[in-house]
């Protein structure tokens, strides 16, 4: 597949998550709630997590922001559901390295999250992509 076709595919995955977000909403009861924002661009996230016996049973988000931040939140919630907290944190570390353009472990299937790899070329957008992930790290720690 040519670079242009791959780039177009990644863009369509990002826009699909932006227009049709997965896990949008919030959890009630004993859910962990994290609110974070990116003051440089105005993105904000409200993340709720249900963690039981060290496993992320459910994750939902709400918020406002650009297509990068909202699609990243959608992808992240989809990826971490059902994972042990330690694995969710490892995935966050892998994602952070990917965003910084560093070598990262390919031992994990990042699923749709790989579509955000191109964001690393735009330093001003990295904080948009990592906002939900930082919220998740804060919530599970």
Terminal CA-to-CA distance of the chain, rounded, Å? 40
User: Which pLDDT score, from 0 to 100, does residue 95 have?
Assistant: 97
Within 8 A by CB and 6+ apart from 126, the residues are 99, 100, 119, 120
Q: What is the pLDDT of residue 3?
A: 59
User: Could you state, in order of their start, the residue ranges of all structural domains in the chain?
Assistant: 3-140
What integer is the mean pLDDT of 30-40? Answer: 95
Residue 1 has a pLDDT of 57
Evaluate if pTM is beyond 0.75. yes
Residue 2 has pLDDT above 70, yes or no: no
Domain with residues 3-140, CATH architecture: Alpha-Beta Complex (3.90)
The pLDDT-based confidence of 106 (bands split at 50, 70, 90) is: confident
Residues 6 or more apart in contact with residue 76 via CB below 8 angstroms: 59, 95, 113, 132, 133, 136
Kindly state the average pLDDT of the residues 132-136. 98
């Amino acid at each position: 597949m040519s670079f242009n076709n791959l780039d177009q595919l990644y863009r369509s995955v990002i826009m699909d998550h932006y227009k049709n977000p997965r896990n949008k909403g919030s959890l009630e009861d004993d859910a962990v709630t994290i609110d974070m924002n990116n003051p440089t661009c105005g993105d904000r996230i409200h993340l709720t997590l249900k963690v039981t016996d060290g496993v992320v049973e459910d994750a939902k988000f709400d918020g406002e922001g650009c297509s990068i931040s909202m699609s990243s939140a959608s992808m992240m919630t989809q990826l971490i559901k059902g994972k042990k907290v330690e694995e969710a944190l490892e995935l966050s570390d892998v994602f952070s390295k990917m965003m910084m353009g560093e070598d990262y472990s390919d031992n994990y299937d990042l699923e749709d999250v790989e579509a955000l790899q191109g964001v690393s070329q735009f330093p001003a957008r990295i904080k948009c992509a990592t906002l939900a992930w930082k919220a998740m790290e804060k919530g599970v720690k």
